[in-house]
Amino acid sequence: MVSVQNEFITTPVYNMTTPVPGGGRGGGCPPVGIQLEGVILPPVLTLDVILGLLGNLVALWIFCFKLKTWNPNNLFLFNLVIADFLALVSLPLRIDALLRGYWIFGDGLCRINLFLMFSNRSASIALMTVVAIYRYFKVVHPHHPFNRMTKQQAVFVSAFVWMLVISPRVPMLAYNHIKSSGNTTQCFFFTSYKEALRAIIILVGMHRILTVLEFIIPLIMLLFCTIRISRFLKKRQMGKPEKIRKAMRVCIAIVAVFMVCFLPTTVTTIGVWIIRSYRPWDCAAFYTFTQLTIVSLGLNFLNSALDPIIYVFSSCMFRKALCSSLPGAIRCRQGEGEGEEGATSSGTQSTTQQELQSLGADRSRGVM
């Protein structure tokens, strides 16, 4: 039987160097069983769930009960919290399947589980990019009409982003992804090219294309925003190198999280794609890349655990609400954590207003 190795599949282990005769386009490589993913993913995903739920539950509590004023930036961050939370609550089912070696939760939960896991990657990347673009316009182009976005418009932008990232994944919910193996069942996305419907084959191909494009395009945008913001701050903050370094640490941290969490999956997906297209007989290389692809998924969900750091860096209001909620003994010092954004006197003044005031003051002194 010809089979494409897939995320979290559990099947018997076969010879990984000799193709099966008559394999056709897939190269005849037999299915491969749990190897790296069975050993590495359960503890990695468990750590992702513990850290991610802890950080995102605190963030959700801050946004829902402690944040007195909302602006578009906070609305985008709130949507990022929701995306991470939905993915994290789906991971325990996957951890259970990896530990048992088979899936016990039925077809319906299998479809929902796969949909949430794959949608999270797209939603997290899209929302992180929106936050970066919003920040870029606020800092570099303070007079641009984009900066006059209302909360209602921000809700519309958020809804559009959700529709954009969910639409390509909705077909996952329309097909049965349960596969029987002896007396056990497995829940996975990729299936055998011999047995699959043509629609599933198209869906798998679209998934691979999205995995690559949704990394490369946002990465270019993130790097552009980071470089432009750093250059703007260096021009404006002459004589204040500490503030420049602090701003650069924030920007670099966001790009670093993006690279660590999403680059490995993109590289291994491209590797699998190239091998299946140009070296279909090379089963050893195919298995190596598919195993690395599966293991790299653990880094995708590490993003959900690291995103709360972005909330703290990206929102002055969130930092102040978090600090005010801490016990007195460990409460932040007054003005701590404001970074390059600066403190607000009323608690409702936006970062951009402060930057505009500061910029206007600098220009006035220059004119005088």
The predicted structure's pLDDT at residue 181: 67
The predicted structure's pLDDT at residue 245: 64
Q: Which residue did the predictor score with more confidence, 141 or 176?
A: 141
**154 confidence band (pLDDT: 50, 70, 90):** very high
The predicted structure's pLDDT at residue 190: 55
| CATH number for the domain formed by residue range(s) 40-326+346-358 | 1.20.1070.10
Exposed / middle / buried, residue 232 (Cβ in 10 Å: 0-12, 13-18, 19+): middle
The predicted structure's pLDDT at residue 175: 80
CA proximity to 97, closest of 199, 201, 177: 177
Please determine, for residue 79, whether its predicted confidence score (pLDDT) is greater than 90: yes
Please determine, for residue 158, whether its predicted confidence score (pLDDT) is greater than 90: yes
Report the mean per-residue pLDDT for the chain.
Answer: 74
- The whole-number average pLDDT for the span 36-54 is 85
Q: What is the pLDDT of residues 243-262, one digit of tens each?
A: 666 666 667 777 888 888 88
The predicted structure's pLDDT at residue 334: 46
Please determine, for residue 128, whether its predicted confidence score (pLDDT) is greater than 70: yes
- The whole-number average pLDDT for the span 123-140 is 88
- Distance between start and end Cα atoms, the chain: 81
Least confident of 22-31, 33-42, 212-221: 22-31
Tally of CB atoms within 10 A around 256: 12
The predicted structure's pLDDT at residue 244: 63
The predicted structure's pLDDT at residue 186: 77
- The whole-number average pLDDT for the span 140-157 is 90
